[in-house]
């Protein structure tokens, strides 16, 4: 049975595809994306390219997935295509595209899923951005509750809408579809793509540390839950293959919150170079945090469901950061 992934040449989904194919030498997969593989993607997929087919097209086109050949051999689907723009000008200039990809693109993927006679499981990829700032007084943020009725910008609004559509499709058509909510993801293949126009904090920190440079942080006591893209891929593939899943929704996260100050120190220690300094809220900063955000969407996410149902554990943060730094050395010019 083949795996089909939408958004397959992008950041996180390219990790999913490679992990799936490397885990099973007999596995095959389809990548559906608006972009052809760039030079970075070609290098990334080179070890498994003979078992990976690329389909190029706009997921907003209802005919793109409807016209697939060999659909009877697709047993697994990951709906991962997404527009993740920054708020403000970029969001405003791409509003219709964000809605089209994140809502209608997900719907087209669900339409495909309901037509597959041998579908075993589908994963709909969502985001922890759907959560609000409130969280439990103690412990990490669980999947039940704490979702904002109006999540703010178009990205979380459309991702939450996609979750709800997926849940309803599952009910109407008895589809084995489950949603995952990702914490702050970093790692290999994080680069500019048509759907991603920003660099996350760890991307900035590690690149600067490897170059022996310094960076500035505003709000260094602000926290986040950081998860390596390879660990996300491992989690999604584990969910696809798990004997049984007991929940509609799963968090994928490291499960712990760390401040930007602690994260900066850890990067410097792990890489062995680089430095950082704190700056005021009104000053220009390479990285910005909010000290008032200590829980909810910005705190630790509960991953006990994922551990119980898929027997999954994230790597230690230091090990994951070291792995990403090694990947950058090997694949990018610093």
Q: 190 in helix, strand or coil? A: coil
Cβ neighbours of residue 98 closer than 8 Å, sequence gap 6 or more:
83, 85, 91, 154, 155, 158
pLDDT in tens, 175-228: 999 999 999 999 999 987 776 777 899 999 999 999 999 999 999 999 999 999
CA–CA distance, 140 with 295 (Å, rounded to integer)? 8
pLDDT in tens, 77-123: 999 999 987 666 578 888 999 999 999 999 999 999 999 999 999 99
CA–CA distance, 161 with 167 (Å, rounded to integer)? 10
pTM of the model: 0.96
Take residue 266 and report the two structure tokens written for it: 């850890």
What domains lie within the chain, and their CATH numbers? Answer: 2-192+225-256+295-315 (3.40.50.720)
Per the prediction, the chain carries an average pLDDT of: 95
CA–CA distance, 110 with 172 (Å, rounded to integer)? 11
The predicted structure's pLDDT at residue 206: 98
């Amino acid at each position: 049975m083949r795996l089909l992934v939408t958004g397959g040449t992008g950041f996180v989904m390219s990790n999913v595809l490679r992990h799936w194919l490397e885990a099973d030498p007999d596995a095959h997969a389809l990548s559906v994306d608006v972009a052809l593989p760039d030079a970075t993607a070609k290098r990334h997929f080179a070890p498994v390219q003979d078992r990976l087919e690329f389909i190029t097209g706009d997921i907003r086109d209802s005919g793109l997935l409807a016209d697939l050949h060999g659909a009877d051999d697709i047993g697994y689907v990951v709906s991962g295509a997404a527009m993740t723009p920054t708020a403000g000008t970029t969001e405003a200039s791409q509003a219709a595209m964000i809605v089209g990809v994140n809502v209608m693109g997900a719907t087209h993927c669900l339409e495909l899923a309901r037509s597959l006679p041998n579908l075993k499981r589908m994963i709909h990829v969502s985001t922890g951005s759907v959560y609000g700032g409130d969280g439990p007084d103690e412990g990490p943020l669980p999947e039940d509750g704490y979702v904002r009725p109006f999540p703010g910008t178009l990205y979380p609004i459309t991702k939450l809408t996609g979750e709800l559509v997926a849940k309803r499709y599952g009910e109407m058509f008895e589809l084995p579809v489950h949603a995952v909510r990702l914490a702050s993801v970093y790692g290999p293949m994080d680069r500019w793509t048509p759907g991603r126009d920003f660099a996350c904090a760890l991307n900035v920190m590690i690149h600067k540390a490897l170059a022996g440079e310094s960076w500035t942080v505003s709000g260094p006591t602000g926290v986040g839950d950081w998860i390596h893209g390879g660990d996300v891929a491992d989690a999604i593939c584990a969910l696809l293959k798990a004997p049984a899943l007991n929940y509609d929704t799963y968090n994928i996260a490291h499960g712990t919150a760390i401040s930007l100050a602690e994260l900066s120190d850890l990067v410097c220690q792990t890489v062995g170079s680089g430095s950082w300094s704190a700056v005021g809220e009104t000053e220009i900063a390479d990285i910005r945090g909010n000290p008032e955000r200590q829980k909810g969407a910005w705190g630790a996410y509960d991953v006990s469901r994922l551990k119980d149902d898929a027997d999954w554990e994230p790597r230690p943060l230091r090990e994951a950061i070291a792995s990403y730094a090694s990947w950058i050395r090997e694949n990018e010019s610093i």
